[in-house]
Amino acid sequence: MINAVYFDLDDTLYDQLQPFRLACKSTDLIKYLNERLSIEDLYKCIRRHSDRLWMKHICGQMTLEELRIERTVAAFADFGIKLPGESAVVLHHLISQSNWSMWETHGITILSHHTGQAGFPFG
């Protein structure tokens, strides 16, 4: 018997690319985004570096802020762009601010309605 439906928040219930896109547009980093480097490709690369560094973070070898800086600098480096750590700090500050206004992924409103109507708690 199903008692509840649970979802991972990131990129399931809300779109993390939208806050990233807004943060890039709010900085001079937007100048790097073009036909050669799409915002989607850059975002995916940052996520790959995040996965690579995650064990260091959870083992206490780096702080979350250090992880955010390193993954961003490394992602830009993958595309031949030397990004100062300070720019990564600013980018992640803007992303954090934008995350407070969650961006729903397509279809989640319909899904939440259907699960609620079926009597399942949604969370």
- Does 32 reside within a domain? yes
The pLDDT value given to residue 12 = 55
- Does 8 reside within a domain? no
- Does 9 reside within a domain? no
Query: Nearest 5 degrees, angle CA 47-CA 40-CA 38?
Result: 125
Contact between 74 and 88 (Cβ < 8 Å): no
Contacts of 82 (CB under 8 A, 6+ apart): 76
Query: At 37, which CATH number?
Result: 1.10.150
Domain of 28 in residue numbering reads as: 17-117
Query: What residue type is 110 in one-letter code?
Result: I
Structure tokens at 76: 């830009």
Tell me the per-residue pLDDT of 13-23, one tens digit each, with 9 for 90 and over. Answer: 566 788 888 88
- Does 122 reside within a domain? no
User: Domains in the chain: how many in total?
Assistant: 1
Biggest alpha carbon–alpha carbon distance for the chain: 53
Q: What is the pTM of this model?
A: 0.70
Tell me the per-residue pLDDT of 81-109, one tens digit each, with 9 for 90 and over. Answer: 899 999 999 988 888 776 555 555 556 66
- Does 31 reside within a domain? yes
**d(Cα 123, Cα 115) in Å, to the nearest integer?**
10
DSSP 67-103: HHHHHHHHHHHHTT----HHHHHHHHHHHHHHHTS--
- Does 7 reside within a domain? no
- Does 89 reside within a domain? yes
- Does 99 reside within a domain? yes
Instruction: Name residue 10's beta-bridge partners.
Output: 14
